[in-house]
């Protein structure tokens, strides 16, 4: 009898963060690099090995922005 054939594409390493851990990572990146937007933070997280959907990254980034409002400019 032949052995069971499983495709290699079915197996991949899944490195996901908990929502609280993700918020902490995004907050740390936003504090270190205040000019980074959602796409750049997403690329940085992916480069560091975290597989996260870009929409989830955007939602978490908006939550971080709401918790820490930006400073108003003084004229």
DSSP code, position 68: S
In a domain, 3, yes or no: no
Taking the C-alpha atoms of residue 52 and residue 42, their distance in angstroms, rounded to an integer, is 8
Domains in the chain, number: 1
What was the pLDDT predicted at 7? 61
Q: From the CB of residue 18, how many other CB atoms can be counted at a distance below 10 Å?
A: 8
Looking at the whole model, is its pTM more than 0.85?
A: no
Tell me the mean pLDDT per 10 residues along the chain, length 75.
Answer: 59 65 90 90 92 89 75 62
What was the pLDDT predicted at 52? 87
In a domain, 30, yes or no: yes
Tokens 């990146």 belong to residue? 29
In a domain, 7, yes or no: no
In a domain, 35, yes or no: yes
What was the pLDDT predicted at 3? 61
What was the pLDDT predicted at 22? 87
Identify which of 52, 30, 31, 34 has the alpha carbon closest to the alpha carbon of residue 43: 52
In a domain, 4, yes or no: no
Identify which of 73, 61, 63 has the alpha carbon closest to the alpha carbon of residue 30: 61
């Amino acid at each position: 009898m032949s052995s069971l054939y499983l495709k290699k594409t079915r197996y991949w390493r899944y490195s996901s963060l908990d929502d609280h851990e993700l918020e902490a990572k995004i907050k740390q990146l936003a504090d270190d690099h205040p000019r980074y937007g959602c796409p750049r933070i997403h690329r940085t997280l992916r480069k560091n090995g975290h597989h996260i959907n870009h929409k989830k990254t955007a939602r978490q980034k908006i939550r971080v922005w709401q918790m820490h409002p930006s400073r108003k400019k003084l004229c």
